[in-house]
Structure 1
Amino acid sequence: MTKQAATKDAPIDPIALRRAFGTFVTGVTVITTREADGTPRGMTANSFTSVSLDPPLLLVCVAKSASSYAAFTAASCFAVNILHEGQVDVSATFASKAPDKFQSVNHDRVHTGAPVLTDSLTWFDCSLHDSIDAGDHAILIGEVRAFGTSPTAPLGFCRGRYASVKDPLPAGWLAAQGMIIGYLVEAGDGLLLCSDGKGGWVLPSARRRKADSQLVLDGGDALRLVPEETFLYSVFDVADSDPGHLVYRARLAGEGAAVSLPEGFRFFPIDDLPYEAIATHELRAMLRRYVQERQAGRFGIYMDSDDGGRVAMIDGQARAWLQASDQGQ
């Protein structure tokens, strides 16, 4: 084993020390923030550590020589995005001096406004808890405000190069929980959403895969629907949680009459949905597509896929199958 010690005449060799630090196998993160004008900034870093569970704290170190140093030390929030084994290109992009590093990655605002890379292994959206000057780096301690994770294998780094990490999932990690059945329920120019109990909004959900004349909500209350106008609209997974999503579009029956809604349910105008309070990026994207298709009067069915999904457009008005098959003979 090579040994080095500082003496009065021979200080620690920084290059040798860096190599010694590099023998510690780490993950790879991209840390992100925004400048005062909203411009997203990001850089690759592997100096990431969990600090505390109560309060939920973590830290990252930013070199004073980094081009994003001023942006990170001036910001009130930042995100830490841990990369998975398929994101070597993302790591390289954010380690480069590319002018628009965010162009090739999916990112979104979740809680603080810092850019969250939604395809990463794990992300932490943080408000700044403290900033500490430490030699040629600044230590940023963040308080976790939101986070998400997935079962993908992590991207490793050791001795200045990427390392493969054998990562069998422990038993019970993100165990399957079936499908979440959501409904886009319209009444007039409104869309029904329900409170998630955390200040946000989600779609109404039900236990059955398809409602006919009524939709029995998870709380036991029921809404009367027009059965002829209930169709499958979207099938997708959410990276940070295991259940998949089946989403149907439907119309409330008797729209002219006063509708008594259960507590926590509310109709929002179609052109004024609370996107910033919607739980996930995937749900926000689906709602925006739904609004666009509703305005065009031409709906599609979305199916999730690794390259961003597929949409099959549906032309014409719905007809009874017997009527359509008779005309096709």
Structure 2
Amino acid sequence: MAETAAKADAPIDPIALRRAFGTFVTGVTVITTRDEDGTPRGMTANSFTSVSLDPPLLLVCIAKSASSYQAFTGAGCFAVNILHEGQVGVSATFASKSPDKFQSVTHDHIHTGAPVLTDSLTWFDCTTYNTVDAGDHAVLIGEVRAFGTSPTAPLGFCRGRYASVKDPLPSGWLASHGMIIGYLIEAGDGLLLRSDGKGGWVLPSARRRKADSQLVVEGGEALSLMPEETFLYSVFDVADSDPGYLVYRARLAGEGAGVNLPADLRFFAIDDLPYEAISTHELRSMLRRYLRERQAGRFGIYMDSDDGGRVAMIDGEARAWIQASQDQGQ
């Protein structure tokens, strides 16, 4: 039986308890967010765990004494960046009180706007699902909106020290390449955009594309689309990051009559899209191409590539696959 630090009825010694907690081998993460003025904030943490696959949830614990506590609990989004074995220095930097933590790392925004460390072992970009008060910490539960991973070995931590983790890559294991599925949804002369919560606008997104007339966008809102007018439009990466975007163009059934949209969804006039509030140049470029092709009445499909991409134009009217197959067989 393991040695006990105190009798059952004696007060818990916090130092001894911390040492006991520290015998559990963990990975090391850097958790990141942005404060009210958009300044990136981050700290090293190893109190991280997965929670649920459906919905996709994880949690981290934030000390109330942390200087970035208010930023994390008030931002509405955060990222968890799991470090690999070569990032001891990154861990030390984000555990310090340095005012320039982000100067030494490559970071980007992927989905929510929280800084993602692009060189990390694995990252999860999350919106805040719930915050639970827990003693001298807050439990921050996040819903995963995007993630990426790599085949490098993780950085371990145990008994207050970094630990080497033997991590042979299992046969057949590949890095994750999940895609953000976005939609260009028209109704009348308007295009539907979603607020990113920080004054900007993004495409409405869904967890998966289903070949029917109902689309459940992120946030749980079900929209009725015209399936015969839903087509793949663009496939591209954002700043060489995983995931990329898989974008469909679609039209709202009934031209949106009688649809009650949540506060974060809004139709913009096609000729008055808020390009200055679209955060990435890839999305801005795609929207400008969409406007040009819409005016010409002839759409293409864009595929990303190292030399700027390829566009294949679509000619002819859409037909059901069964009918097209029968015509080709004649």
TM range (shorter): 0.5 to 0.7
Distance change (3 Å), C-alpha of 1:240 and 1:164: farther
Q: Which position in structure 2 is the counterpart of 1:231?
A: none
Q: Distance in 1 between matches of 2:173 and 2:134?
A: 37
Size of the aligned set, in residue pairs, is: 211
Q: Which position in structure 1 is the counterpart of 2:151?
A: 151
Distance change (3 Å), C-alpha of 1:277 and 1:11: farther
Q: Distance in 2 between matches of 1:148 and 1:78?
A: 15
Q: Which position in structure 2 is the counterpart of 1:198?
A: 182
Distance change (3 Å), C-alpha of 1:135 and 1:115: same
Normalization by structure 1: what TM-score? Answer: 0.56
Distance change (3 Å), C-alpha of 1:46 and 1:120: same
Distance change (3 Å), C-alpha of 1:238 and 1:113: closer
* 1:296-326 CA distance string (max 9 Å, x none): xxxxxx99xxxxxxxxxxxxxxxxxxxxxxx
On the 8 A contact 1:149/1:239 being kept in 2, the answer is no
On the 8 A contact 1:119/1:239 being kept in 2, the answer is no
Q: Which position in structure 1 is the counterpart of 2:95?
A: 95
Amino acid at match of 1:3: T
Q: Distance in 1 between matches of 2:36 and 2:175?
A: 41
Q: Distance in 2 between matches of 1:70 and 1:115?
A: 17
**1:60 counterpart = 2:66:** no
Q: Which position in structure 2 is the counterpart of 1:48?
A: 48
Q: Distance in 1 between matches of 2:127 and 2:176?
A: 31
Q: Which position in structure 2 is the counterpart of 1:172?
A: 172
Distance change (3 Å), C-alpha of 1:196 and 1:121: closer
Q: Distance in 2 between matches of 1:114 and 1:150?
A: 20
Amino acid at match of 2:105: V
* 1:51-99 CA distance string (max 9 Å, x none): 0000000000001111111111111000000000000000000000001
**1:275 CA displacement:** 6.2
Amino acid at match of 1:4: A
Amino acid at match of 2:133: D
**1:6 CA displacement:** 4.8
Q: Distance in 2 between matches of 1:90 and 1:74?
A: 25
**1:198 CA displacement:** 2.7
Q: Which position in structure 2 is the counterpart of 1:25?
A: 25
**1:276 counterpart = 2:260:** no
On the 8 A contact 1:35/1:75 being kept in 2, the answer is yes
Q: Distance in 2 between matches of 1:77 and 1:175?
A: 24
Distance change (3 Å), C-alpha of 1:156 and 1:197: closer
Q: Which position in structure 1 is the counterpart of 2:117?
A: 117
* 1:270-314 CA distance string (max 9 Å, x none): x99x762749xxxxxxxxxxxxxxxxxxxxxx99xxxxxxxxxxx
* 1:202-249 CA distance string (max 9 Å, x none): xxxxxxxxxxxxxxxxx9xxxxxxxxxxxxxxxxx95748xxxxxxxx
Q: Distance in 2 between matches of 1:51 and 1:134?
A: 17
Normalization by structure 2: what TM-score? Answer: 0.56
SS at match of 2:78: strand
Q: Which position in structure 2 is the counterpart of 1:204?
A: none
Distance change (3 Å), C-alpha of 1:26 and 1:278: farther
SS at match of 1:16: helix
SS at match of 2:18: helix
Structure 1 residue runs of 4 or more that deviate by more than 6 Å after TM superposition: none
What's the C-alpha RMSD, in Å, of the aligned pairs? 3.7
Summarize the alignment of residues 244-283 of structure 1 with structure 2, pairs less than 5 Å apart: 276=280, 278=282
Q: Distance in 2 between matches of 1:196 and 1:64?
A: 33
Amino acid at match of 1:143: E
Q: Which position in structure 1 is the counterpart of 2:126?
A: 126
Distance change (3 Å), C-alpha of 1:39 and 1:175: closer
Q: Which position in structure 1 is the counterpart of 2:5?
A: 4
Q: Distance in 2 between matches of 1:18 and 1:196?
A: 40
**1:161 CA displacement:** 0.4
SS at match of 2:130: strand
SS at match of 2:70: helix
Amino acid at match of 1:117: L
Alignment gaps of 5+ in structure 2: 184-201, 204-230, 232-238, 244-248, 251-274, 284-305, 308-330
Q: Which position in structure 2 is the counterpart of 1:80?
A: 80
Amino acid at match of 2:147: F
Structure showing greater radius of gyration is: 1
Amino acid at match of 1:148: G
On the 8 A contact 1:150/1:239 being kept in 2, the answer is no
Alignment gaps of 5+ in structure 1: 178-194, 202-218, 220-236, 242-262, 265-270, 280-301, 304-329
**1:4 CA displacement:** 2.9
Distance change (3 Å), C-alpha of 1:23 and 1:278: farther
